[in-house]
Chains A and B, each alone.
Chain A
Amino acid sequence: MFSRRELLRRSGMGFGMMGLTGLLGKSFGSEAAAHINHIAPKAKRVIHFFLNGGPSHVDTFDPKPALLRHAGKPLPITRITERKTGAAFPSPFKFQRYGQSGIEVSELFAKTAEHIDDIAVIRSMYAQVRNHEPSLMLMNCGDSVQPRPSLGSWLLYGLGSENENLPGFVAMCPGGYPIKSAENWQSAFLPGQYQGTFVDSQHREIDKLIENIRSPHATTMVQRQQLDLLQRLNLEHRQGRLDERLDARIQSFELAFRMQIEAADAFDVSREPKHLVDLYGTGVHGRQTLIARRLLERGVRFVQLWHGAGQPWDNHEKIEENHRKLAAQIDQPIAALLSDLKQRGMLEETLVIWGGEFGRTPTVEMNGNTAKLGRDHNHYGFTVWMAGGGIKGGTVYGSTDEFGFAAEEKPASVHDLHATILHLMGLDHERLTYRYASRDFRLTDVFGDVMREIVA
């Protein structure tokens, strides 16, 4: 734990402010350092479906009939992307209008689309560079290159966790790491307690899901005895010594003991009724989404669900087959989560985010003169959608050009997205700062505008 003085210094707050928030005297744990809502919060927690590799917007949430008219012909506009692309490549997927809002969604996300009136689709997102690594860093940490804290770390730093017995920021990915691995949920110069906890959701056993959560060498009863002795010795040691760190450490063992029990419970989906398990689906994505709901319910601040190890959505080839397979894995869990949250009355305080690090080209990727029937990376324009907590559902924000190559109307940078997310969580992105190496750092650096039109 920081000393309070250090904490105040870093977060640029005075003691007066601390008095107001009533933080003094509060217990230790994954407590926020900034701990202040600048704005009335709309959402309390976030779940982020990260379609790593880059899902194609023109095949999902951004229909482009103009591509059909140009099918097989070069587009009048070209952009430099990572690889060579050729002619216009119309989406092989059918689009249809959904809900009262009548927003068009492709068949890939037909189940999710049933909730379109709760969703705001941002069709004018853009990033900075054409490669995965920097774009992942930008989307997760707000900077393409420099090591900076991730969005989840900033949220935890700003708001703390509502459950001291669970990690406040959980990143789940079945089968191993996405590329850039732990850098995607790094705390960088923020203290280590704000980093994301990685969980390989392919596992089912609790001790494989969370490091050191179960003792291989002592039963709970033995551990309780050990901790009783430990605390007795620590209390005796504390006599005549003055150091708040001693108390913090004493508490941390009790927290850890409770965490062992609570975490095991939170990750155990077998405690869910069968109809819910069926609703989410029994595949690994259904399971990790259901675990995510259990975590959110227990006060975890930020859960990020990655699609899988590596970059599954990176379909340079055979996009029809591959996107169909990938979407089928998550469409049902996402729809189930939205229904389930709504039914529990949690959706209004839970911000649901869907997106990748960028989108894909409207043109077909070439291998020499042969079309690979896939699409290249596209950071000039892509789609991210958000639902729930404070989002004005049934909205479309901005647009790409008629082919979907680049953001055109109301271009939305990743900084704008971050500013909006923080805003919904009750944080002013210009005031959530951390002093490091004599600079006040922000998630949004010197950029970012809140997209007010999608805020309810």
Chain B
Amino acid sequence: MGVITASQAATPPQDWWALHPLDRAASQSGPQSVDGFVDATLQKQRLQRSPTASRQALIRRACFDLTGLPPTPAEVEAFVSDPSPNAYPRLIERLLASPHYGEQWARHWLDVARYSDTKGYVYAREEKRFVHASSYRDWVVRAFNEDMKYDRFLLLQIAADQAVPAGSPDLAAMGFLTLGRRFLGVTHDIIDDRIDVVTRGTMGLTVSCARCHDHKFDPIPTRDYYALYGVFQNCAEKLVPCGIPNADEELVKRQAKLRETMTLRREEQAARVRERVTDYLVAQLELEKYPGEGFDQIIDAKDLNPFVVRRWQVYLERHRDDPLFAEWRAAKSKETAAGYGARFAQAKNGEPLWHVLYGPDSPCLVPDEHVANIEMYFPTGVITELWKLQGEVDRWLVERSQAPGYATILEDRVQSVNGRIFLRGNPLTKGDEVPRQFLAALSKGQQRPLSHGSGRLDLAQAIIDPANPLTARVMVNRVWAHHFGQGLVTTPSDFGTRAELPSHPELLDWLALQFIDGGWSLKNLHRQIMLSAAYQQSSLSQEDAQAFHDAQERDPQNRWLWRMNPHRLSFEEARDAWLAAAGRLDLKVGGWPMELFAELNARRTLYAYVDREQLAPVLRNFDFANPDLSTPKRTETTVPQQALFGMNHPFVAAQAKALRRRADVQVCRTDAERVRFIHRLLYQQPATPSQEAAALAFINSSALVKRPVESESAKAWQYGFGEWDESAGRVKSFTALPHFNGNAWQGGSHWPDVKLGWAQITAEGGHPGNDRGHAVVRRWTAPMDGSYTLTSTLTHVPAAGDGVRAFIGHSGQGQLRAVTLHASEAVMNMESLALKAGDTLDFVVDIGGGLNSDQFLWAPQLSLTGSTGSGGDLATQQWSANADFTSSAITALDPWEQLIQVLMLSNEFMFVD
């Protein structure tokens, strides 16, 4: 955005509807119900509300909406056959009381909170997983389930450190601030991220737009940005226990080691600076040599530390009236610096000079804070050392603890200072100092000071002040948007002057006031919305196709809510629903994340590991919220990659197979009965006659399609692992690799496997297991006596690592060939190989010196050149590791499974009416 003059930037706040106080008078004279407001608008637009949706549609809608899960066939049956007018309100109550309500709505909030389990790109020295992400996620789930008042919900996320006692589980709430991207530790960007998530997330204000210049459209001056910047710059991160203390011996040991080293290194560093006061003063004469901000330089202990040089600069400036430095100010030179150096060296405890070296605001001291806050004080080697020790602690917590029990909070620093404007956002060009205060646009006259400590608690209180017109409006609108598919304001995190005006302004204010007056209860808000006729109306053109058509002409976007908007399942909802229909869904609430497609991961998708650096492509393809930026509303795309996932990814096929194996599916007596039951499992609807007919026709015709069968020559091959016994020249014990994923034999569906690691055999090559005990073995068994020719080329490509070892072993004769290779090829051919029926040839590969880049290509071919009698006639006389590789016969779906997969991918499954 270009440079903006002040006059352009300021639309006067009084013209900006979102800043008007909530209109209590209009609200009280209004119709006092959602329907009253919606109907009045419909009438004005000459539109009519659609009829109430069917019972089946209602229960499916309400269940997905509140819990993200489909109802079971039994629940549907009970609801549909319950004639009571209270059946629907009872359903809503049941769903609101479900522990899965919190999971579903937590996910909506996690989009806003740009949740991730990892920090984004970090240097190798640092553990990339957050220790506290799961604690935060679980806290959000709990807060929704307990219907925590929304004002408290926000307060805790911004300032729990000042609202609850040490050790409280509520400290986890602060992940909201501390789970952002780490930007390789660059403070300005970390703070920018926090300002953005707080202002857009809670108030729908895009304050970050004012980082470089006054906001282009909204009355948010750059001063406001740096007023908030000042708040966050006075906060330091700290890892603290929250809830279950899970300190065990090993953890204590690791923490102590970190602590000791940290103390030692801080003292050493301070001592180094004290010894070199002269040099740090001289450095002030040539500041251009020391980059003020930005990125890493590799520094060793002998170098002047550029960060410390800048600290001296700030210190001298702050003490510009201090007579101690009068001489320096009068004659800045190397000589003067040397003079000071000599005097500092003599300084005695308690003297003014001594305070410069040892006092609490001494530029020599390294604060006692988390390594993330203070790494720039140290030489590169020390930074690496400290992060490694911190990593030892972090990894112990993430990998070994039973449950997440730590939070990363912010704490106010003892001394708070105001921020200074960075001209055009550039930290090297500092402008005026700005007091820490609340946004001008939300203040009448005097800006509310944010002055206690860092001002963070004051900020939280200003946000949740009932007089703040934005906070309630924004949240009410978010909730509305999730229920109806679009908000009353279409941009849920932007209530600025450029946003579209609300479709139903009086309704928005009425809901916001009810929300505040009713004690900020989200569950009440859901009730108000979901019990309305507007929510319960149909999305279909049922009875009156003409009226539907006319309404569509007049209001194609359905801004006036003349029908319900259909909902497309999010990726999480779809995956959970597949698992649920398959009878596999694990409903355990909370805990550590799991790899999305790990073998045994049948947990809700909420608990899938979110790595913001390498987000699983399937999540990206399905429009999962970008974990780098607060996401108010997911984009919704339809691309072929989504279809490819559904058609070809083993996960969907596995659920189809599991559903087929359900006991209640097995026991169905007739095909028709089974088709009907499967429909109810997947769609919560009985099959229509034509659906049933189509399904039955598919089963019948599909059975006729020839399914792939394993070829004769394929039977000669086996795929396993074992240890190569060098002295005996054979594999010690051959064990078959247990899992075939359609392309490769390996330890399990997830690769690397927990037990068998990287061991894998493919058509063309493979990868050895993690140690010499886990060589991969492609075994070929001679089907008849004869003379054979072997042709094979083993290739190892990567320059990284140290290559692999390979052997050819004969069951009778032992080792035939051995080779070690790295980024090269080895041709291993043999002619006139005399074999008896049942003899085996093992093609064995294990790691070289260590496990690193050990993937290889090796697809041997054999041919029979002359038979010697026994074994009979062979259908084949050629064997090729590649061409004979396990066919898809192993994984192929049977016709019922194919049918179920189709139903799982259908629009009826993916859309909620």
Contacts and interface: CB of A to CB of B under 8 A. Distances in A.
B800 interface: yes
A440 interface: yes
A331 to B, nearest CB: 17
Given A230-B902, A309-B800, A215 B698 contact: no
A248 B637 CA distance: 9
A259 B626 contact: no
B902 A192 contact: no
Interface in A340-361: none
Given A82-B298, A129-B294, A242-B541, A208 B743 contact: yes
A260 B702 CA distance: 22
B754 interface: no
Contacts of A222: 702, 705, 892-893, 898
Contact of A437 (B493, B541, B548, B624): B493
Interface in B568-621: 568, 613-615, 617-618, 620-621
Interface in A211-242: 211-219, 221-223, 225-226, 229-230, 232-234, 236-238, 240-242
Interface string B478-502: 0000000000000101101011000
A218 B568 CA distance: 27
A212 B898 contact: no
Interface string A251-272: 1110111011000000000000
B496 A438 contact: yes
A180 interface: yes
Give the one of B891, B893, B906 with max A CB within 10 A: B906
B374 to A, nearest CB: 20
Contact of A193 (B184, B637, B705, B799): B637
Contact of A182 (B568, B614, B647, B797): B614
A437 B206 contact: yes
B635 interface: yes
Interface string A119-135: 00000000001110110
Given A175-B853, A191-B623, A222-B705, A249 B907 contact: yes
A212 B641 contact: yes
A202 interface: yes
A225 B695 CA distance: 12
Contacts of A218: 647, 888, 892-893, 898
B643 A256 contact: yes
Given A234-B906, A240-B541, A131 B209 contact: no
Given A145-B189, A243-B566, A437-B208, A2 B888 contact: no
A20 interface: no
Interface string B190-229: 0000001000100000101100000011100000000000
A28 B644 contact: no
A334 B498 CA distance: 48
B546 interface: no
A213 B644 contact: yes
Interface stretch (B163-171, B329-337, B462-470, B648-656): B648-656
Contact of B642 (A146, A181, A237, A252): A252
Contacts of A255: 640, 643
Contacts of A130: 295, 297
Given A192-B635, A202-B797, A437-B208, A446 B2 contact: yes
B887 to A, nearest CB: 10
B80 interface: no
B665 interface: no
A243 B911 contact: yes
Contact of A205 (B2, B763, B903): B763
Nearest to A283: B797
B338 to A, nearest CB: 24
B648 A214 contact: yes
B449 interface: no
Given A5-B557, A225-B705, A237 B647 contact: no
B296 interface: yes
B540 A226 contact: no
Contacts of B568: 245
Given A29-B640, A131-B295, A229-B902, A240 B121 contact: no
Given A1-B638, A80-B297, A218-B898, A253 B694 contact: no
Nearest to B2: A446
B629 interface: yes
A223 B647 contact: yes
Nearest to B123: A133
Nearest to B797: A202
Given A234-B906, A234-B907, A250-B907, A437 B494 contact: yes
A438 B491 contact: yes
B691 interface: yes
B181 A147 contact: yes
A73 to B, nearest CB: 20
A218 B902 CA distance: 12
B613 A131 contact: no
A114 interface: no
B304 interface: no
Given A229-B694, A438-B496, A80 B907 contact: no
B183 interface: yes
A175 to B, nearest CB: 5
Contacts of B643: 249, 252-253, 255-257
B653 A217 contact: yes
B407 to A, nearest CB: 25
A216 B294 contact: no
B640 A181 contact: no
B25 interface: no
Nearest to A165: B640
Contacts of A221: 705
B716 to A, nearest CB: 22
Interface in A102-149: 129-131, 133-134, 145-147
Contacts of B622: 192
B908 interface: yes
A449 interface: no
Contacts of B613: 180-183
Nearest to A308: B799
A410 interface: no
B795 to A, nearest CB: 11
B620 A195 contact: yes
B346 interface: no
A191 B635 contact: yes
A189 interface: yes
Nearest to B892: A217
A438 B499 contact: yes
B425 to A, nearest CB: 10
Nearest to B551: A242
A248 B623 CA distance: 15
B378 to A, nearest CB: 16
A234 B295 CA distance: 54
10 contacts: A182-B613, A183-B120, A213-B648, A217-B892, A218-B898, A233-B907, A259-B644, A437-B629, A438-B217, A438-B498
Given A1-B636, A237-B907, A437-B494, 8 more contacts: A147-B181, A164-B640, A192-B622, A193-B641, A216-B648, A222-B892, A240-B540, A437-B196
Interface of A: 1-2, 5, 28-30, 80-84, 129-131, 133-134, 145-147, 164-165, 167, 174-175, 177, 179-183, 187-189, 191-193, 195, 197-198, 202, 204-205, 207-208, 211-219, 221-223, 225-226, 229-230, 232-234, 236-238, 240-243, 245-246, 248-253, 255-257, 259-260, 284, 308-310, 437-440, 446
Interface of B: 1-2, 120-121, 181, 183-184, 186, 189, 196, 200, 206, 208-209, 216-218, 289, 291, 294-298, 491, 493-494, 496, 498-499, 539-542, 545, 548, 552, 557, 566, 568, 613-615, 617-618, 620-624, 626, 628-630, 635-645, 647-650, 653, 688, 690-691, 694-695, 698, 701-702, 705, 708, 741-743, 762-764, 797-800, 853, 855, 857, 888, 891-893, 898-899, 901-903, 905-908, 910-911, 913
Closest 3 CB pairs of A and B: A216-B742, A256-B643, A248-B638
